[in-house]
């Protein structure tokens, strides 16, 4: 039975849906600090760990997506068309880049442990390789979940050149944030 992938953006949208903007800002700050720490840590490695730098940059992009959903006035990414479109389309790849970057660094640590002269180095190297293999598996499942078209809202899955925001209200006076309207030709 094949896995359908982990739907990371849909899960995050559901989790952040009930949170206030203050909590979302806290999560964005944590993602940003984590990203900067990964970038600095990767740059200080000898030789430079590009896997950590890529994971850090991807974590900063995740912070941008979280801030974009908080600025839209709601915790649900689905209410801001511009951020939602980017988050639904690139979110799984960005989350996979974070996980795969960290898994790549762990793989490199496994190579170092295997190459060491200590007797426990071989076992520790194999353990680190298995851990990195699990990280790569999670990254692939994030991408597979993002490629599943049944989990993307129809409003986001259709592409449009015009990103004008049109305010729409329903009959029950519940305001909707925005929708993308086509430009008259």
pLDDT for the residue numbered 106: 94
Asked whether residue 66 is domain-assigned, the answer is yes
> Angle at Cα 59 formed by Cα 158 and Cα 24, nearest 5°?
80
For residue 38, what pLDDT is reported? Answer: 94
pLDDT for 118 beyond 90: no
Write down the pLDDT at residue 1. Answer: 37
Q: Is residue 3 part of a domain?
A: no
Positive/negative CA dihedral, 58, 94, 165, 24? negative
Mean pLDDT of all residues belonging to the chain: 75
Structural domain contains residue 24: yes
Distance of CA 184 to the CA centre of its chain: 35
Provide the pLDDT confidence category of residue 6 given band limits of 50, 70 and 90. Answer: confident
Q: Which two tokens stand for residue 43?
A: 């740059």
Q: pLDDT digit string (tens) for 77-101? A: 444 455 556 666 778 888 899 999 9
Number of domains the chain contains: 1
Residue-number span of the structural domain to which 119 is assigned: 8-180
Q: Is residue 60 part of a domain?
A: yes
Q: Is residue 185 part of a domain?
A: no
State yes or no: pLDDT of 153 exceeds 70.
no
Whether residue 79 is contained in a domain is answered as yes
| E-assigned strand segments in the chain | 165-166, 179-180
């Amino acid at each position: 039975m094949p896995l359908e992938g982990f739907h990371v953006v849909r899960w995050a949208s559901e989790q952040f849906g009930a949170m206030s903007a203050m909590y979302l800002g806290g999560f964005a700050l944590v993602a940003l600090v984590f990203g900067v720490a990964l970038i600095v840590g990767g740059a200080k490695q000898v030789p430079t760990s590009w896997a950590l730098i890529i994971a850090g940059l991807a974590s900063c992009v995740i912070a941008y997506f979280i801030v974009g959903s908080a600025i839209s006035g709601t915790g649900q990414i689905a209410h801001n068309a511009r951020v939602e479109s980017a988050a639904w389309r690139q979110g799984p790849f960005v989350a996979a880049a974070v996980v795969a970057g960290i898994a790549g660094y762990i793989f490199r640590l496994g190579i170092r442990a295997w190459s060491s002269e200590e007797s426990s180095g071989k076992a520790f190297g194999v353990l680190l390789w298995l851990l990195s293999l699990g990280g790569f598996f999670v990254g692939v499942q994030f991408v597979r979940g993002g490629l599943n078209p049944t989990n993307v809202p129809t409003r986001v899955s259709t592409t449009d050149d015009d990103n004008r925001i049109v305010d729409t209200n329903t009959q029950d006076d519940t305001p909707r944030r925005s929708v993308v309207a086509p430009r008259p030709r």
